[in-house]
Structure 1
Amino acid sequence: MNTSSMPLAPATGEQRATLLFQLCIGVYFLGGFLNSLVGLLVPRLRMIEGLNHTRSLLVQFAFHSSYLLFAVPITVLVVKFGYMRSIAAGLVVIALGCGLLAASLGSLGYMTVLLALLAIAGGVTFLQIAANIVVPVVEPARRAVSRLTLLQGFNSLGTVLASLAGSALLLGTGRQRFGDLADHIRVVLPFLAVALVALVLAAAFICQRDLLRASSAPRRVPLSGIVGVLSNRRLLAGGGAMFAYVGAEVTIGTLLVEYLAMPDILDVSPVAAGQLVGLYWTGALVGRLVGARYLTRYGAPTMLLGCAIAAVALVAIAIGLQGLLAATALLAVGLCNAIMYPTIFALSLPDDHSTATYASMLLCMVVVGGAIIPLLTGVVADAVGLTMSFILPGACYIIIAAFAWWRRRTWDL
């Protein structure tokens, strides 16, 4: 019996699929907004705490390591309680974590900040496992890729808006000092806003919890389901590509502020650099909105391969050159990232939807790349300099290109 799929009621399946998509828009937007805020914490902590790259990038390590730590127990809860309740639970955990983070940024210290980020990321893990599966389960495979890409567009919109607003709030405006009351209010404001929106979305998912009706099968996680996904070559290869993608995107997005502010690049203030990072996420936004159309025309593997190769070239330019051209090249990597997450996710899923929850669990666990790759890049940056450290995310895009090349041979055009 199928213990993981949660089919739509047959009478109004199309309308319910549309409403599910609309609800997921809020989740993806909030996730992007929160991810960008966390990235801006890194340069802030470097400025006010005097941390080196390695220690400041522990922020991303704490935020993304939870995907590995919590994926299995959260998958058990998703199977037991269903997608809708699990998404609502994740949103509540995010709200509580944001409250703790707001308190810790005031006076509770750096370690409490890391613990708060771990709690927030635990809530995000619920969303990664449950929300990412909703669309592939209720949509045909080819349409699911397009829908996921469109949802990622709203995720990028959140990152763009957070970069523009958050850079002024978290990095200062030049009129206030770091650590005074006005600075504290500005820093906690965006996280309290995220907490409020998360609670509103949680209430919406609880009210609409019957959109996906749980199956009558026993609510348990069979060992055979986990073993099955671990033996699937497509899923394992896609997991490696996802690890590389998240690691590269998080690393570049986090270090861009410092890179753009370097004297031999643009020599701008941290606030201006933080606002320019919005262009990085804007590229992802535009690419996802446009890419949703072209994915069905040219095929997902071909689009993924082209974007990965372009990203390798742009990172090489950012490493080898200086000034405006180098800055533009690294910002343009955001455009290449646009279709990668939803495309890798869809290309990695097994054909058997009964294993969808377990496949999503594995793909969620490999998001730990967003913890490991930035930390390794920080170690390299402290040793040989920030610019040369971008070799690591460049290598990640080579891994993605290899996965796309392999999937082209088996993709049903």
Structure 2
Amino acid sequence: MNTSSMPLAPATGEQRATLLFQLCIGVYFLGGFLNSLVGLLVPRLRMIEGLNHTRSLLVQFAFHSSYLLFAVPITVLVVKFGYMRSIAAGLVVIALGCGLLAASLGSLGYMTVLLALLAIAGGVTFLQIAANIVVPVVEPARRAVSRLTLLQGFNSLGTVLASLAGSALLLGTGRQRFGDLADHIRVVLPFLAVALVALVLAAAFICQRDLLRASSAPRRVPLSGIVGVLSNRRLLAGGGAMFAYVGAEVTIGTLLVEYLAMPDILDVSPVAAGQLVGLYWTGALVGRLVGARYLTRYGAPTMLLGCAIAAVALVAIAIGLQGLLAATALLAVGLCNAIMYPTIFALSLPDDHSTATYASMLLCMVVVGGAIIPLLTGVVADAVGLTMSFILPGACYIIIAAFAWWRHRTWDL
């Protein structure tokens, strides 16, 4: 009798892994879509609402600073309530934040916009900490990396589609204030759509909250053990590289619209420039799909080093030249970015994966680079001009190259 029931266990485990992967597709896609929409808010505030670079880039500061502010308490909640409930909670917070943002863009004012973005990013922090770990928990080790890379591809697909659809809605308008009703509806529509999808996904995760076995729950670690995890040399070095990567990617993706619209670059409308930014995110999508194959051939540190060096060269071309060549170079940085997040994440983790939740917490906290680097770049842009300000994200890729070189020397072949 036992032999007849034994074959059912692997099938049940496979069904569990497949269902969880399908649920996570929606989470990763939504995250990419939302991140791109937030990026499009910056050129709207800058080019249509008349704010300077520094004030408009406070959008990214508010959105990404929550990773630092909320990572520790959210990690405590993830450990207490588990992955599935935490992901559902994050999606509900995102929906509420999008609703507040829609109201803020209408009449509540700029500071409420920043508060709403902070709330949305708090929800995203739940997803960053829990969803990055939940797939490897149920997947066989041989398949976990490929499925994570594929999920990152869906994240990139979300950014591409948001760039194409969101540009027409957020940037396709005259120089009107937020008070205009028709303009307000155009701007808030994509955020309301995100809120609706987030609530549907949250309901799905709640319905499947018992999908993971009790043995898959995150492990509580004493304070002394957490200090040991967070002081790991590899994790700290990788945290610095992740800080630089997110800062550089967000900065370039956010400022590309204005850069492409400049008379000495492409001299196109904000809508056309916003749609061209889709090429930047398409590069990340294609690069992740192709890079997964070559990562196994050449090794993660080597691929990361090559991409970082190429990114430095492309940013230098964008700074030093003009016209189509400069625009193409800066858009091509998206291709270099493709493998950086998953590769830096993997190269940063300590050998003991039983404490991965806490390592993920630190790597989530350093995403605050997406708040600090764009804001500093905005200050530089107001002082010396937009083009020269790209020196700062270019320097970030030098930091990534240094980390890749160090890991190359210590890589266990």
TM range (shorter): over 0.9
**Partner deviation per Cα, 1:6-55 (whole Å, 9 max, x = no partner):** 99987733332232222111111000000000000001111343211011
User: 5+ unaligned residues in a row in structure 1: which ranges?
Assistant: none
Matches of 2:140 and 2:130 in 1, distance apart? Answer: 18
Deviation at 1:139, TM superposition (A): 3.9
CA contact (8 A) 1:85 1:205 kept: yes
Matches of 1:174 and 1:367 in 2, distance apart? Answer: 34
Matches of 1:205 and 1:8 in 2, distance apart? Answer: 24
Pick which of 400-409 and 271-280 moved more.
400-409
CA contact (8 A) 1:172 1:183 kept: no
Match of 1:201 in 2: 201
Pick which of 207-216 and 151-160 moved more.
207-216
Q: Does 1:393 align with 2:393?
A: yes
Deviation at 1:216, TM superposition (A): 9.6
Deviation at 1:297, TM superposition (A): 2.0
- CA pair 166-3 structure 1, distance change in 2 beyond 3 A: farther
State the SS of the aligned residue for 1:3: helix
Deviation at 1:295, TM superposition (A): 1.6
- CA pair 49-220 structure 1, distance change in 2 beyond 3 A: same
CA contact (8 A) 2:287 2:336 kept: yes
- CA pair 200-2 structure 1, distance change in 2 beyond 3 A: farther
Deviation at 1:363, TM superposition (A): 0.3
Matches of 2:3 and 2:409 in 1, distance apart? Answer: 32
- CA pair 263-9 structure 1, distance change in 2 beyond 3 A: farther
Match of 2:111 in 1: 111
CA contact (8 A) 1:381 1:387 kept: yes
Matches of 1:57 and 1:199 in 2, distance apart? Answer: 28
CA contact (8 A) 1:225 1:358 kept: no
- CA pair 8-317 structure 1, distance change in 2 beyond 3 A: farther
CA contact (8 A) 1:66 1:122 kept: yes
- CA pair 286-216 structure 1, distance change in 2 beyond 3 A: closer
TM-score w.r.t. structure 1 length? 0.94
Matches of 1:8 and 1:249 in 2, distance apart? Answer: 45
Matches of 1:316 and 1:80 in 2, distance apart? Answer: 47
Deviation at 1:2, TM superposition (A): 31
- CA pair 203-227 structure 1, distance change in 2 beyond 3 A: same
Deviation at 1:305, TM superposition (A): 1.1
CA contact (8 A) 1:7 1:212 kept: no
Q: Percent identity?
A: 100
- CA pair 217-172 structure 1, distance change in 2 beyond 3 A: closer
Aligned CA RMSD, in angstroms, stands at: 4.2
CA contact (8 A) 1:150 1:288 kept: yes
Deviation at 1:188, TM superposition (A): 0.7
Aligned residues: 413
Match of 1:243 in 2: 243
CA contact (8 A) 2:164 2:274 kept: yes
Match of 1:320 in 2: 320
**Partner deviation per Cα, 1:279-314 (whole Å, 9 max, x = no partner):** 100111111111122222221111111111110110
Pick which of 74-83 and 169-178 moved more.
169-178
- CA pair 411-4 structure 1, distance change in 2 beyond 3 A: farther
- CA pair 217-132 structure 1, distance change in 2 beyond 3 A: closer
CA contact (8 A) 2:54 2:375 kept: yes
TM-score w.r.t. structure 2 length? 0.94
- CA pair 6-258 structure 1, distance change in 2 beyond 3 A: farther
Deviation at 1:182, TM superposition (A): 1.3
CA contact (8 A) 1:8 1:212 kept: no
Matches of 2:230 and 2:284 in 1, distance apart? Answer: 31
Matches of 1:96 and 1:235 in 2, distance apart? Answer: 33
**Partner deviation per Cα, 1:156-183 (whole Å, 9 max, x = no partner):** 1000000000011001256988642211
- CA pair 358-178 structure 1, distance change in 2 beyond 3 A: closer
CA contact (8 A) 1:144 1:346 kept: no
